[in-house]
Amino acid sequence: MPAVETATGLVRRARKIDRVLAQTYPDARCELDFDNPFELLVVTVLSAQTTDKRVNAVRPTLFAAYPDPAAMAAADRAHLEQILGPLGFFRAKAESLLKLSAVLVEQYAGQVPPRLDDLVKLPGVGRKTANVVLGNAFGIPGITVDTHFGRLARRFGWTEQTDPVKVEHAVGALFPPRDWTMLSHHLIWHGRRVCHARRPACGACPVARWCPAYGEGPTDAAEAAKLVKTEGRA
């Protein structure tokens, strides 16, 4: 990388990284299972402080019992907590789902609103969750700034911001909106599999040549290969 990168150079490098990550992870997608916007909203809320694998494991039981906002709003709290038990923080999560479902019934006729401003007003829903739902359930472009996305955006030198909203806006300015949702998947998949927080697998990274942070982790190919995870949040 040049010592001083122009704005145009930054855009070109950022988009090159995304193109390579798209080729590296052709199956990149939301790793939470869902069949409709309500399910995606719920499982995304539940994914906080646990793994996608655990959320996916309880999903069939949860939605068999409470398939829509009306059913979930009327759920027996004890039964709901029992289903959510394996996820941890099950009491708080049950409370969030009961309130969330009630608001959907009372204010949105039991439908998940396809608008950011409405989604972030729902109990337990922030911009990250809202953008997951918009991008993956409604096809509306959104950038999902989770811990992986923020870490990689800074390592790639796309932004120095740490506030998720500022990261979202800074990175969004480098890409056309049509790319935002898949860009989020590419970075999150790469962060879960290769560009780890503590020991990134630099020597096995497909975008190492364009990364200012190259060398933060092992650069030896064999050593780095041992750090690569074949799955995301197991």
* Domain end (from 93, 117, 137): 137
- From the list 146, 220, 226, 229, the catalytic residue is 146
Which of 92, 107, 137 is the endpoint of a domain? 137
In a domain, residue 231? The reply is no
Q: Compute the average pLDDT of residues 37-50.
A: 96
Residue 1 in this model has a pLDDT that exceeds 90:
no
d(CA 200, CA 216): 7
Q: What is the CATH number of the domain that holds 62?
A: 1.10.340.30
Where a domain ends, among 137, 155, 180? 137
- Together in a domain, 21 and 49: no
**pLDDT category of residue 23 using cuts at 50, 70 and 90:** very high
Distance (Å, whole) CA 135 – CA 130: 9
Judgement on whether residues 148 and 220 belong to the same structural domain of the protein: yes
**Active-site residue, 35 included:** no
In a domain, 197, yes or no: yes
pLDDT for 234:
42
Is residue 91 scored above 50 in pLDDT?
A: yes
Helix 77-84 × helix 52-65 angle, to 10°: 150
The encoded tokens of residue 226 equal 């041992």
- Domains of the chain: total: 2
Residues 218, 159, single domain; the answer is: yes
**Tokens found for residue 233:** 């949040």
| Segment 116-145, tens digit of pLDDT | 999 999 999 999 999 999 999 999 999 999
Residues 130 and 88 in one domain: yes
98 and 181 in a single domain? The answer is no
Same domain, 119 and 149: no
Give the model confidence (pLDDT) of 60-74 as tens digits. 999 999 999 999 999
Confidence of residue 232 (pLDDT cuts 50, 70, 90): low
Same domain, yes or no: 84 and 48: yes
114 with 192, same domain? no
> Is 52 a known active-site residue?
no
Quote the percentage of the chain above a pLDDT of 70.
Answer: 97
Q: How far apart (Å, rounded) are the C-alpha atoms in residues 21 and 188? A: 10
**Is 154 part of any domain?**
yes
Claim to verify: residue 103 and residue 167 sit in the same structural domain: no
Same domain flag for 110 and 191: no
2 falls within a domain: no
Q: Are residues 114 and 157 in the same domain?
A: no
- Structural domain boundaries enclosing 221: 7-28+143-225
Clarify whether residues 65 and 148 are in a common domain: no
Q: Which of 128, 163, 179, 226 does the annotation list as catalytic?
A: 128
Instruction: Say if 97 falls within a structural domain.
Output: yes
Q: What would the pLDDT profile of 173-219 be if each residue is shown by its tens digit?
A: 999 999 999 999 999 999 999 999 999 999 999 999 999 999 999 99
CA 76 to chain centroid, in Å, comes to 30
Q: How large is the average pLDDT for residues 149-159? A: 98
User: What's the CATH code of the domain at 184?
Assistant: 1.10.1670.10
Q: How confident is the model at residue 230 (pLDDT cuts 50, 70, 90)?
A: confident
What's the start-to-end Cα distance of the chain, in Å?
34
